[in-house]
Chain A
């Protein structure tokens, strides 16, 4: 989540509206001022809470950045500490504005709940925040075919919550729910800035639902992504089309930097707070996210990894990536 950008945009938009609208140039000037000193533009408890959430996320990110050199015990101690701090910061934001949905969402995500309970809590949050009503109203207002909920800053927290529901549903092996929730987000915000299509792609692969997978692929103009490439491989493998599955796997290994290595060497990734961290498309960093998200689905196909390992080009791609980067092999 680009919290700082969203904060600036939000405060600038509100100030601009208060001033009766600004020219494009004027608005840009205003944005610069807000960026320099956002606090001066915080007018309402809701803005104040969002400001605190922004700061909390930045502080948390800084804490993560310093953990690279820690050993396991130190890392877990640091992790516990930073998550506790994040929770306390969210509580502070919620005390100022109990309706601060981002704070409530992050608080739940940081709470170390069992995924099943997290899902229940997220769905409860969605009910109490009346997300559905917000979406319905938006839909009723928008002229046919022009709906893009992402442009409305007040709606974004609701979309983030739905994206979290979709990912958590996937985590608890509720693939139909994951896909339905993801699809409903995409329908509301077709640009899909939150990458709900990625979760959908994995869910369709697991459900062996080729029709829905293809429809999704077409809707995004067959752009391809690390998720798409891996999901297609899993889908074809499960459907028993081994030649096509092998070509898809080789495509994944060729197009995704370090994708083969990430597949054969999965690593733990940090919690998504509140949404999937940004990574360069088709980069190794993205591949580690893809593999971590796909892990339960890969595990459900017991011989998938062995098959991937046995594919010559994939093995070589992983090996040479490890050599180039000085990684364990």
Chain B
């Protein structure tokens, strides 16, 4: 799962509160801690907190506005949301100038070019790492080992987000080898990969058409510590793209079927390929294997879909995935996607295009090539 800022906010204050009870009698401490949840929700100011904690709370609120509300707002609401979020981030930075999340989010909002933001992240990475490590070392001094571990991981989280964002932007800027370098650095630092940077890495391997690289990369991962124990949409999309580019249409279809089986309404998300604004705090935090997750994966898959010339202007792989996903859609989903069905029919000819809920030989093959891997030579 990606980072949930409110959960992290809760953990920060929880830790601090627990520490403040250390001198108390253990029984009193247990009673006091029982009140924490209520106080966090209703009377946050009564809890002990540092300026850094306050700043992070503002970041969490700003994230709600920018990442979770803005995409659904109309123009007028959008302006209000943006200006409120900016104020929150500005306050956060004035409370804690080492609030790297706030600094990063503010620069993201004010930098027009992909490259400008990417450069900012690249140039700042080392300093952020040093700063987070310093805070991490401080936090690790806690006498209770479990608390020390949690505190250290909270201290490093801004750096993980920074690097995960750097890797994501590297792919968008067409710098896939750099993206893989950042991803590997991050995985070395924390093999549990709370930032899910391995999703971004899968896309980068697909961009580089490096099947073997992706295989080796995924073999190195430690699956048990990850949120997605049985594959994920990014990896499937990457593998579908790799197979498609090898003209192994059978293999590519297999990956689409896996996604359709693992995610609700995947056929719709894959046919639509909606391009959403990326999360500014981090990749949006949604439940694994949810419809939202496949929508986010398909949006990030834009770098794979929209490449190469094609009749629809969706990119070569994008057009193919659209047609194939329509063939995998249920009747109800097809009704919902009548516009896409029409587009598809203009592409392949109305008489040939007749998608039904049950994929069968009747509507196979109309969208490109034989099922066997082909080659030039």
**A contact residues vs B (CB 8 Å cutoff):** 114-117, 119-120, 123, 126, 132, 135, 162, 165-166, 169, 171-177, 180-181, 184, 207-209, 238-240, 296, 300-304, 306-307
**B contact residues vs A (CB 8 Å cutoff):** 113-115, 122, 172-178, 208-209, 245-247, 303, 307-311, 315-317, 319-320, 347, 368-370, 374-377
**Among the listed B177, B307, B377, which residue makes an inter-chain contact with A180, where contact means beta carbons less than 8 Å apart?**
B377
Contact B316 A115 (CB under 8 A): yes
The residue in chain A whose Cβ has the minimal distance to the Cβ of B211 is: A176
The residue in chain A whose Cβ has the minimal distance to the Cβ of B377 is: A184
- Given contact pairs A116-B368, A172-B316, a sample of 7 additional A-B residue pairs in the complex whose CB atoms are under 8 Å apart: A114-B311, A123-B375, A171-B308, A173-B308, A173-B317, A238-B176, A296-B309
Residues of B contacting A116 with CB < 8 Å? 308, 310, 316, 319-320, 368-369
Contact A208 B177 (CB under 8 A): yes
Q: A115-B309, A173-B317, A296-B308 are in contact. Are A303 and B377 (CB under 8 A)?
A: no
Least CB distance, B327 to chain A, in whole angstroms: 16
**Among the listed B115, B308, B317, B376, which residue makes an inter-chain contact with A307, where contact means beta carbons less than 8 Å apart?**
B115
CA distance A117 to B320 in the complex (A): 11
The residue in chain A whose Cβ has the minimal distance to the Cβ of B370 is: A120
Least CB distance, B133 to chain A, in whole angstroms: 24
Contact A114 B310 (CB under 8 A): yes
CA distance A239 to B208 in the complex (A): 12
The residue in chain B whose Cβ has the minimal distance to the Cβ of A118 is: B309
Contact A176 B246 (CB under 8 A): yes
**Among the listed B247, B309, B347, which residue makes an inter-chain contact with A171, where contact means beta carbons less than 8 Å apart?**
B309
Least CB distance, A325 to chain B, in whole angstroms: 29
CA distance A126 to B374 in the complex (A): 11
**Among the listed A165, A171, A176, A181, which residue makes an inter-chain contact with B245, where contact means beta carbons less than 8 Å apart?**
A176
Residues of B contacting A209 with CB < 8 Å? 208
**Among the listed A176, A300, A301, which residue makes an inter-chain contact with B209, where contact means beta carbons less than 8 Å apart?**
A176
Residues of A contacting B370 with CB < 8 Å? 120
CA distance A238 to B175 in the complex (A): 5
Contact A120 B174 (CB under 8 A): no
Least CB distance, A112 to chain B, in whole angstroms: 9
CA distance A302 to B114 in the complex (A): 8
Contact B308 A165 (CB under 8 A): no
Chosen A-B contacts, 30 in total, with CB atoms closer than 8 Å, are A114-B311, A115-B308, A115-B309, A115-B316, A116-B310, A117-B369, A120-B370, A120-B374, A126-B376, A132-B377, A135-B377, A165-B376, A172-B316, A173-B307, A173-B316, A173-B317, A176-B246, A177-B245, A177-B247, A177-B376, A180-B376, A180-B377, A181-B377, A208-B176, A238-B175, A239-B175, A240-B122, A302-B114, A303-B113, A303-B114
The residue in chain A whose Cβ has the minimal distance to the Cβ of B318 is: A173
The residue in chain B whose Cβ has the minimal distance to the Cβ of A162 is: B376
CA distance A162 to B175 in the complex (A): 30
Contact A240 B178 (CB under 8 A): yes
Residues of B contacting A174 with CB < 8 Å? 209, 245-247, 308, 316
Residues of A contacting B368 with CB < 8 Å? 116-117, 120
Residues of B contacting A304 with CB < 8 Å? 174
Least CB distance, B349 to chain A, in whole angstroms: 12
Residues of B contacting A117 with CB < 8 Å? 368-369
Among all A-B residue pairs, the 10 with the closest Cβ atoms: A173-B308, A181-B376, A301-B174, A303-B115, A173-B307, A176-B209, A114-B311, A120-B369, A172-B316, A172-B308
Residues of B contacting A301 with CB < 8 Å? 173-174
Contact A208 B208 (CB under 8 A): yes
Q: A123-B376, A173-B245, A174-B247 are in contact. Are A238 and B307 (CB under 8 A)?
A: no
Residues of A contacting B374 with CB < 8 Å? 120, 123
CA distance A301 to B122 in the complex (A): 17
Least CB distance, B203 to chain A, in whole angstroms: 13
Least CB distance, B371 to chain A, in whole angstroms: 12
CA distance A175 to B244 in the complex (A): 12
